[in-house]
Amino acid sequence: MVSKNYRFSEAESKPQENKTFWIPHELEHLIISKIFYRTPMISNMKYLITGGCGFIGSNLAAEVLRRGEELFVFDNLCRHGSSLNLEWLRTKGRFTFYPNDIRNLNDIETVIKDIKPDVVFHLAGQVAMTTSIANPRLDFEVNVLGTFNLLDSIKKYSPESIILYSSTNKVYGDLMQFSYEETESRYICREYPQGFDETITLDFHSPYGCSKGAADQYLLDYNRIFGLRTVVFRHSSMYGGNQHSTYDQGWVGWFIQKALEKKMGKEKEPFTISGNGKQVRDLLHCNDVVDLYFKGIEVIEHAKGKAFNVGGGIENSLSLLELFNLLEEILDVKLQYNQLNFRESDQLVFVANCSKANSVFKWSAGVNKNEGIIDSINWAKSIV
């Protein structure tokens, strides 16, 4: 057995000095693991966030700045509220902003070639089901072509980059192959009462499901074929600060906005809902999303090439009716709404079974739905 000399910096005492220590072989593994693997993150990393002025993108960007890392934000500011998030982000620190379009190969290829990011959070996308039906070409170009442009640019110019992608539960289709119990306030899936896991068959419905599903699969295949370090997060519903919701995207934020309008006497007419309001989603607060993405970086060698269902879990699930009851209680209002038909390909229930993510990332949702809704109300008061 051979003993070795190791050179390292004593960060706690004299970071400017390097010293050489002789380590007996039998103690080598124990000591070296404590010295060299104590800190999982590398300092001065370069982060590129596509869609970095969106809801989740801006929250991730703020965390990068808080950590003192180098930030590059790529966003064409076409999304409602993105310009406001950009101004907010500029109050958090210095970063490089690219007002570019991911559909343009030259735009994204030039950025990747120039900065060679250590980490890419890929959040640029067309995010509304209704928009995908009204303009399927736009939906395809942003979600599929834009993702392909990013992946191919990384393959050519920065193959060591870590790429974490925001996918969706819509890759599983409408889930009508299962049976549902209808209660007074919600639907319950009989076969999966604790939530859907990743063994559910992919079944793309609607242009949005097809485009996000195609991008989802490209991320996984670029790991299989080209060895890129990709991770796919199939999100349920997310909510929290910087979510500038509209009637067709960001339902929790949208109905919070409607409730606040009622509270402030600004409601002009009853709002509308699609379906009977018993549809169920699990809620994941943006703080927990940020935590998840950074944990993904730490365990990339275990997570790469895999897809994960992520959400708040059954304990943080709400139907529309249950959300309305909660808002009425918190704000002391009575909400009025009109019912429309169910949306095409709408899922009666989607609750994520996060067991796989819990195991790989040692992660779970930390913000419960009541705390998160109150936090979101307080944020939304600034924009109503």
User: Which helix (H) or strand (E) element contains residue 361?
Assistant: helix 355-361
The two structure tokens encoding residue 311:
């959400």
Q: Quote the CA–CA distance of 374 and 368 in Å, as a whole number.
A: 10
For the question of residue 208 being annotated catalytic, the response is: yes
CA nearest neighbour of 104 among 76, 71, 133: 76
Q: Quote the CA–CA distance of 8 and 43 in Å, as a whole number.
A: 16
Q: Which of 208, 222, 239, 293 is catalytic?
A: 208
Q: Quote the CA–CA distance of 85 and 65 in Å, as a whole number.
A: 14
- CB neighbours of residue 145 within 10 Å: 17
Write the burial class of residue 94 (CB in 10 Å: 0-12 exposed, 13-18 middle, 19+ buried). Answer: exposed
Q: Quote the CA–CA distance of 28 and 30 in Å, as a whole number.
A: 6
- CB-CB contact of 285 with 240 (8 Å): yes
Enumerate the active-site residues. 208
